[in-house]
Every structure is written in structure tokens, then in C-alpha cells.
Amino acid sequence: MDEILLRSLTPGVLGILVRRGADFAAAEDAVQDAMVEAVRVWPADPPRDPKGWLVTVAWRRYLDATRADVARRRREGLADGEPAPGPASAVDDTLQLYFLCAHPSLTPSSAVALTLRAVGGLTTRQIARAYLVPEATMAQRISRAKRTVSRVRFTRSGDVVTVLRVLYLVFNEGYSGDVDLAAEAIRLTRQLAASIDHPEVAGLLALMLLHHARHASRTASDGSLVPLAEQDRGRWDTESIAEGVEILQRALARDRLGEYQAQAAIAALHADAPTAGETDWVQIVEWYDELARLTDSPVVRLNRAVAVGEADGPRAGLAALVGLDDSLPRYAAVSAYLHERDGDLTAAARLYAEAARQALNLAERDHLTRQAARLHARGCH
């Protein structure tokens, strides 16, 4: 059973049912039923046209459910127009599904869950495991999201920026359990890139590939966090880096710069450096300037301060922090790093401890706690 093929067909099958007039929520349930049936039947009897098989089974499941719902008996007329089995429509509705699942009326967490279910083809159990929440909780979240988008016209044009934001949220969740969400986000972004010619879609795909290329080197054998400067660059995935750089260069050549292209350019400069000491920090600062212009984001300005500290010295980096809200995530960690580089180990130890208390995950908290302990061991008070 080719699970990747099955999941890749999901959005196209769902799109066909919705375009035929099926309610989104009911259609999505029918597609999930068809996928379960495929897992049972295909190993012994693989279809010649997998997509057509899924469409036929899902449509019949939808009609069966519609007939069984007395409150929706008026929709039984759809059965008279049931299409004959045959090759699936060549029309690709994947892009519309992306826009629908990233609808602005949904919360970010609901949009992510619905995208993974309806476009990614993951089961509710898989998504729940990935997010470390009970399956019933995730089922309720997805159910509410489906009810919301069922009221949205399928033909409504969507906002690609919102879609990209949802995909980036998926990517940044990383992985847990049996689902690698970073890899899933890359797969979905590839799918989106095949459906729409947009430089920012390419920029996001490049950014994901460049970041994910460092995945194997980010943690030590004991699970502890390994900072970028200390990572074994020999473990970086050079094929993903090369692909990411190529995609980015094509996107930049179109001269329609966006935030994901700028972030990818920064990631590419890190990937290009043979050692941490050979990183082109001056050019990275220039890209952060572009990114700050595009987004006016305090988080971008915080990351820029780190780059300035590397390019022009820790005092310059600390000066770049002036005016930023010290409650920003990672502010204390950045300040600690710059103070340590500037020789103020007492302030650095205090700030590392403060950053550890604010850390959002266990690996980051442990890393920052070790940094504070290391400085205390050197006699800081």
C-alpha cells in the first residue's frame, strides 16, 4: 500500500465531490471512508485508476450518508445524477481546498488541523498524536472547522498569504509520534507549488527545505539541543540544500520579493558557510533589513540583533535590542548571549536563567538552564 500516493490523491478527490455539490463536511467524511476502504482493498486488488476508484467509492459513501439523513432528504435528487464509474476528472481543485482550509474565520490551530485532514489526508488519530492531544479533542476541533467552512462558497477566491502562514505553522510544529509534520508541510507546499505559480510559494518551499536539511544535526544523542554554531555540518542534507537554493534563486529572479524569500535567503547563507566562523553575517544583516522592511515584525528585529552582534560586535547587537519589548519570546536568551559575548557574565547568567523559565519546550529550557549553570560554574554571582 502506497500511503504517500493515497494521501496525495485526497485533495483532488475531495475537490471533485464538493464541486459536484456535496457539503464539505459530509464530503470530507466520505473521502476518509474511501481511504479506509482503499487500505483494506488495494493491497490485494490495486485499481488501474486510483483516483477514479476513490472518487467512485467516496461519492457512493456520500450518497449513502445523504439518503440515511432524513433531515437532508431533499438532497437525494443527487443520486439520479450519479456519474458513471470511469477516469477521474482532470480538473484539479487542490488550490481551492488550500484556500478553504485556511479560511480567515478559522483559528490558526483549526486551520492547521483541517489542512492536515482534508488536504494532507491524515487521520484524526494521527493529527491528535502529532499535537499530543486526545483524539476526541482533535475530532471536535476538526468538526467545528468543517462546519465553519461548509458555509463558505467553494468558488470563493482565497488569500495565498493565509495559506502559506498555515503551512508554515504546520512546518514549525516539527514532528511527534508517527507523523513528521515538517516533512508533511514540505509535501503539501510542493503540492501547492504545482498548483500555483507564485514566488512566495516557492520561497516558502525553499525555506522549509533549507531548514529541514539541518534536522539531523539539531539534537544530540541524548536529545539535548545543539545550537546552529555547534552543529555537525557534515550531517546536513546537501541535496535538500541544493534544491532549496535552486528554487530560491528562481523565485528571486522574478523580482517580487516577499518575506518567505527573504527568510530563505538568510537560511541559504547559513547553509553556504563551511563553518560557523565563515558565515557571511554582513549579508545576513542586509537580508534582515529587507525582512524588517517587509514585515515590520519585532521578532525579525530581535533576530536581526543577533546577526548585528555577529557582524559588528556584541555592543552593536545590544544596541539593536533597544526599543524592543523585553517580553518578546527569546528576548532574554538573545540578550544573555550578547551580554556573554560582551564579557558581562553575571548579567548573562541571570538572563539565561530567566530565559529558561520562559522557554516554550523542554529541550530549549534544558539548554538555557545548562548555559546559566555553565556561567555560574565559572564563578559568576
Report the domain count for the chain: 2
> Does residue 138 form part of some domain?
no
CA 282/CA 307 separation, integer angstroms: 8
> Does residue 338 form part of some domain?
yes
CA 274/CA 287 separation, integer angstroms: 20
Domain endpoint, select from 39, 54, 81:
81
Predicted local confidence at residue 179, as pLDDT: 67
Predicted local confidence at residue 118, as pLDDT: 86
Amino acid at 196: I
The three cell numbers of residue 25 are 463536511
> Does residue 121 form part of some domain?
no
> Does residue 340 form part of some domain?
yes
> Does residue 69 form part of some domain?
yes
Predicted local confidence at residue 210, as pLDDT: 98
> Does residue 161 form part of some domain?
no
CA 266/CA 283 separation, integer angstroms: 8
pLDDT along the chain (381 residues), means of 10: 78 86 87 91 90 93 78 47 47 70 84 86 83 88 88 65 87 67 88 90 98 93 91 96 97 96 98 96 98 94 97 97 92 96 95 93 91 84 56
Domain endpoint, select from 63, 81, 99:
81
CA 297/CA 263 separation, integer angstroms: 13
Domain span at residue 323 reads 299-381
Domain endpoint, select from 81, 110, 132:
81
Whether the Cβ atoms of residue 174 and residue 181 lie closer than 8 Å to each other = yes
Q: pTM value?
A: 0.79
> Does residue 203 form part of some domain?
no
> Does residue 268 form part of some domain?
no
